[in-house]
Structure 1
């Protein structure tokens, strides 16, 4: 129906979520009409929501690429949103460098359009920070500038920028550049954590001379039933950050990759591997209370359960998230490499 399409189009342009009031204003429908359609679309699996205080933020369940537009000039942000919005991308906006870093942490975009001259933190510094972080270094960054000097391009390259566009730019050129990067990156990175996927990191892992570990995130389906899709993705990102930060802090040459089954494959230096794994497990355990903040009083950490419901007779119980750890042998890695080659058709 046309009304449903209008609502979905609005949500696709606001991947961070929109309230019923925002959707009503944008679509021209009453709040009651919007609420009715959203509830029906939720039952069909087309939309979902998360609670924020006393209100709900609705998001689309459809998969779409998210693009962060970090630009202090509001008319240019709007222009880029219009140009790329026609391609069904979800547009996230930031007006300064600090906000850009916050949006990347919250949303994990698939691509960033980053203005050079911004308040609070310039684009070069933002780019440099993102490229030094294992969770964000693979996000393609296209720098935007009003300058044409070669020195600006050199600065961008040194900071780690993947491409450069001079303002004003042609809409068609912007669309082509963005599509080229998104088509290239989509298979190489995990869509939630932005970590390399196992098939694309195995050659790097096999060259390492350290120890290999497989960390598996357990009971994620039960967490999703309890908190929904969006919050589950947030939990996975947070756990990935714990793993990466501990691995990099303790094992300088550590490598972390992520597969579709929510397993993390780690290559760690031999002399620091045990310490890194121990810290990851301790950090994970201490984070559980935060992940279950709405039900922390109902947690049973010994039995690894959370109880939901007011009356004990009617309470539901869910298994808590858990992180299992297994040390891999060389033959395990060889088997994984052979399986990967088979899945890729022998390439």
Structure 2
């Protein structure tokens, strides 16, 4: 039942078990199966650690944090930054009967303590497979990928919700990646994902959504009234951080010498953000294709501007040509 070892060495498992004997056995088993085990101690903030380290799986004892393990699970599932992480709870039979509803709402699977090693190994493999298939998370940032982004938009449209769709793109990322290498490029992607996620948490609503299309393209879905605050916060934080990605010389120059997309050696400006914002409201509903078309048009315009900017589409007027031919009326740029 075990997965090939070459696929498991990078799988990080958070283990939160207060009972020493059980913890020792589980650590032995997990390491024998070649998982990367991270022990979480009583008093540590599990939710914050999960946000920072993005584990592939969490195994938590219901007795963790003075028998508050199920509440910790609920917190993880309520936070979009950690909701995708599969969680297995270890619980005794008496607590299982008492807290069955909480278990159903807050965890992905459970095992009666002490777990049978074969059962545990099977549950771990199935949880990891299910997470990879169901959530379709981006492998680098662990944010929801294209399928979940599409699902989120369709659900909001079918429910008749007003929302703002943010298409976020890192300008000049390809040139940076070519010059500094893929490892440095991955670092930029990961930190940008963290910046976006944190800004949405601080400035958005609890139901907001953050996704990663792939490469240097991200998506935010938030409330229209919060959209500009979110965009401004993301830009401010990215601009404050982006200079640290470069050498001192490039930072002082304000550009890097690299090949542009046509292969010509030229001075490429430092990275910035373009954020195209499309408002979808009940008095002017759009379909999925229209939302993406308008976002692409706004993005194309923004890419020609200097520095980090966002543009908000507030009104869309039918030009009478086809359902997709719309005239984008947007707010002024924000520098």
Q: TM-score, normalised by structure 1?
A: 0.63
Alignment counterpart, residue 272 of structure 1, candidates 203, 206, 226: 226
What residue number does 1:67 align with?
Answer: 13
Question: In 1, distance between residues paired with 2:191 and 2:23?
Answer: 29
Q: Deviations over 1:199-224 (max 9, x none)?
A: 22303213253232211235277469
How many residue pairs align between the two structures?
265
Residue 210 (structure 1) aligns with: 163
Displacement after TM superposition at 1:112 (Å): 0.5
Deviations 1:127-149 (A, max 9, x none): 23222221111111111124533
Correspondence 1:303 to 2:248: no
SS of 1:189's equivalent in the other structure is coil
Q: How far off is 1:234 after superposition?
A: 5.5
Q: Any conservation in 1 of the 2:153–2:288 contact (CA below 8 Å)?
A: no
Q: CA–CA distance in 2 between the matches of 1:84 and 1:76? A: 12
- Output the CA distance in 2 between the equivalents of 1:189 and 1:240: 13
Question: In the TM superposition, what is the alpha-carbon distance from 1:169 to its structure 2 partner?
Answer: 1.1
1:118 deviates by 2.8
Q: Alpha-carbon deviations, 1:158-217, whole Å to 9, x = none?
A: 5x2222212111111111111112111114212333321122230321325323221123
Instruction: Quote the RMSD (CA, aligned, Å).
Output: 3.7
2:143 aligned residue: 195
What is aligned with 2:115?
A: 169
Partner Cα distance (1:272, 1:143) in 2: 36
- 1:324 corresponding residue in structure 2: 274
Q: Judging changes above 3 Å, is the alpha-carbon distance between structure 1 residues 279 and 169 closer, same or farther for their aligned structure 2 residues? A: same
Is 1:93 aligned with 2:76? no
Q: Structure 1: which 5+ runs fail to align?
A: 1-8, 14-63, 307-316, 338-347
Describe the shift of the 1:212–1:99 C-alpha distance in structure 2 as closer, same or farther (beyond 3 A): closer
- CA distances 1:73-94 after superposition (whole Å, capped 9, x unpaired): 3443342233334444332222
Contact 1:70 1:97 (8 Å CA) reproduced: no
2:208 equivalent to 1:257: no
Over 3 Å counting, the alpha-carbon distance change for 1:266 and 1:83 in structure 2 is: same
Listed as ranges, the matches of 1:237-256 within 5 Å are 237-252=190-205, 253-256=207-210
Distance 1:200 1:273, change over 3 A: same
- Relative to structure 1, is the Cα distance of residues 151 and 318 closer, same or farther in structure 2, using a 3 angstrom cutoff? farther
Q: CA deviation at 1:283?
A: 1.8
> Are 1:70 and 1:114, in contact at CA under 8 Å, matched by a contact in 2?
yes
Deviation at 1:328, TM superposition (A): 5.1
8 Å CA contact 2:167–2:220 kept in 1: the answer is yes
Query: CA 1:227–1:120 in structure 2 vs 1: closer, same or farther (change >3 Å)?
Result: farther
Contact 2:22 2:114 in 1 (8 A): no
Uncovered stretches (5+) of structure 2, i.e. residues with no partner:
258-266, 280-285, 294-335
Residues in 1 aligned to 2:252 and 2:198: alpha-carbon distance in whole angstroms: 25
User: How far does residue 233 in structure 1 lie from its aligned partner after superposition?
Assistant: 5.0
Structure 1 position 305, deviation (Å): 5.2
* Alpha-carbon distance in structure 2 between the residues aligned to 1:271 and 1:199: 26
Distance in 2 of aligned mates of 1:87 and 1:200: 31
